[in-house]
């Protein structure tokens, strides 16, 4: 018979279960300014009087630790289109911004044989958790930025991007402004913030598109 270890908060909510262990911290990656290739705007190609992306955005890639499943972001690069393939993360973000990427995934380690030991194993012998693991700590969810308490560092894990289009001007010089928000921090708040204002020429007559409200999960990354 297998044994399931569970811990609960004071209010009775399940805090940890060995039957479904939480993701743990795998590592941190820094992405600086001008880390990739600038993306051009369709409007500039068709009509030189139209501006490019404002602010300018870039496509970039960066290596992440093996076993990374999800990432939480701080900083003002506000990446969107996050995609991970073979331990490489691909995204687009503000070229003049920077960010820290906190990587989380399944725990993988060799059991310790000396000193303080607290190990949890799956029935097949796989190590699920020990005192070295730093579980992902979820502190909130929302669609609007959340104020971060003094002395803490929170990062945003995106669930859905905020996306909408607004038309402007008259034919034949009509443009569609596409707004996208990406995860990150702004001052003392964490959430989704404006990443891309793409101007796209549309001689057929651009139209407004309904707003798809983004959502995110706030992760406490203090000390990571």
Counting runs of H as helices and runs of E as strands, what totals does the chain give?
A: 1, 19
The pTM of this model reads 0.81
Mean local confidence (pLDDT), 174-203: 75
* 15 vs 192: which has the higher pLDDT: 192
Distance CA 127, CA 39 (A): 44
Q: Which pair of structure tokens corresponds to residue 57? A: 């955005």
Domain ranges for the chain: 6-220
Nearest of 83, 87, 28 to residue 60 by alpha carbon: 83
Instruction: State the pairing for strand pair 146-147/189-201.
Output: antiparallel
Q: Is the separation of the CB atoms in 73 and 155 below 8 Å? A: yes
Task: Average the pLDDT over each of 48-52, 58-62, 141-145 and give the range with the smallest value.
Answer: 48-52
Q: Give the per-residue pLDDT at 184.
A: 95
The yes-or-no verdict on residue 23 having pLDDT over 80 is: yes
Task: Average the pLDDT over each of 17-31, 37-51, 61-75 and give the range with the smallest value.
Answer: 37-51
């Amino acid at each position: 018979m297998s044994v399931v270890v569970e811990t609960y908060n004071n209010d009775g909510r399940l805090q940890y279960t060995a039957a479904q262990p939480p993701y743990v911290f795998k590592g941190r990656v820094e992405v600086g300014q001008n880390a990739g290739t600038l993306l051009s705007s369709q409007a500039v190609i068709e009509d030189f009087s139209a501006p490019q992306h404002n602010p300018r955005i870039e496509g970039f890639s960066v290596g992440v630790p093996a076993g990374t499943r999800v990432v939480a972001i701080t900083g003002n690069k506000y990446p969107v289109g996050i995609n991970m393939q073979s331990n490489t993360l691909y995204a687009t973000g503000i070229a003049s911004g920077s960010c820290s990427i906190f990587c989380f995934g399944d725990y993988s380690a060799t059991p310790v044989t000396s000193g303080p030991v607290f190990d949890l194993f799956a029935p097949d012998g796989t190590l699920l958790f020990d005192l070295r693991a730093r579980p992902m700590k979820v502190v909130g969810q929302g669609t609007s930025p959340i104020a971060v308490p003094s002395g803490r560092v929170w990062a945003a894990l995106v669930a859905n991007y905020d996306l909408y289009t607004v038309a402007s001007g008259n034919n034949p010089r009509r443009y569609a402004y596409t707004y996208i928000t990406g995860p990150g921090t702004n001052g003392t708040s964490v959430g989704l913030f404006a990443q891309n204002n793409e101007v796209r020429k549309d001689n057929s007559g651009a139209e407004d598109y309904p707003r798809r409200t983004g959502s995110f999960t706030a992760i406490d990354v203090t000390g990571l």
